[in-house]
């Protein structure tokens, strides 16, 4: 059985010069549209993190009894919670639209003998499914069906 390899076994005999320039941040970094979009996309993670804590709080209130649940529901009428939920809705829509724009690019060039549909058709199908699920869930939560 072989033993472990020497840590420098694959090192070049003489150290070479690095060909890479030292990293520099472009002078227009903060004003670039793509950077702002990336930072905004990353910031939605903080909102999801906070909404998860709210979900945990509501689950605890549900387990604590009807009085705690009623108090938790009453606290959600606060304008700060309403604004936070609107911000969460905007974040979810922002991430979904970014995902939908990326989805056609991530499709394989062929699925067996079939080629995927063009990007606009995929976009249309994604939005129809999204709106359909949203309408269905709204009807369920409003008590119209089920």
Query: DSSP string of 56-110?
Result: HHHHHHHHH-HHHHHHHHHHTTSHHHHHHHHHHHHHHHHHHHHHHHHGGGGS-S-
Domain 31-106 has CATH 1.20.1090.10: no
**Would you say residue 56 has pLDDT above 90?**
yes
Between 131 and 110, name the one with better pLDDT.
131
Model confidence over 79-118: pLDDT tens digits?
999 999 999 999 999 999 888 888 777 777 777 788 878 8
Map residue 114 onto helix, strand or coil.
strand
> What pLDDT, on a 0 to 100 scale, did the predictor assign at position 123?
85
Model confidence over 5-28: pLDDT tens digits?
777 777 777 777 766 666 666 667
> What pLDDT, on a 0 to 100 scale, did the predictor assign at position 35?
84
């Amino acid at each position: 059985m072989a033993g472990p390899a020497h840590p420098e076994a694959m090192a070049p005999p003489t150290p070479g010069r690095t060909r890479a320039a030292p990293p520099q941040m472009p002078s227009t970094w903060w004003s670039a549209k793509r950077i702002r979009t990336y930072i905004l996309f990353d910031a939605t993670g903080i909102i999801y993190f906070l909404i998860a804590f709210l979900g945990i709080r509501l689950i605890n209130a549900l387990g604590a009894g009807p009085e705690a649940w009623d108090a938790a529901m009453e606290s959600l009428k606060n304008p700060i919670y309403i604004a936070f939920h609107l911000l969460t809705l905007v974040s979810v829509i922002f991430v979904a639209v970014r995902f939908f724009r990326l989805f056609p690019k991530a499709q394989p060039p062929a699925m067996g003998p079939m080629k995927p549909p063009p990007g606009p058709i995929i976009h249309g199908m994604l939005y129809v499914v999204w709106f359909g699920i949203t309408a269905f869930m709204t009807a369920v939560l409003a008590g119209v069906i089920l």
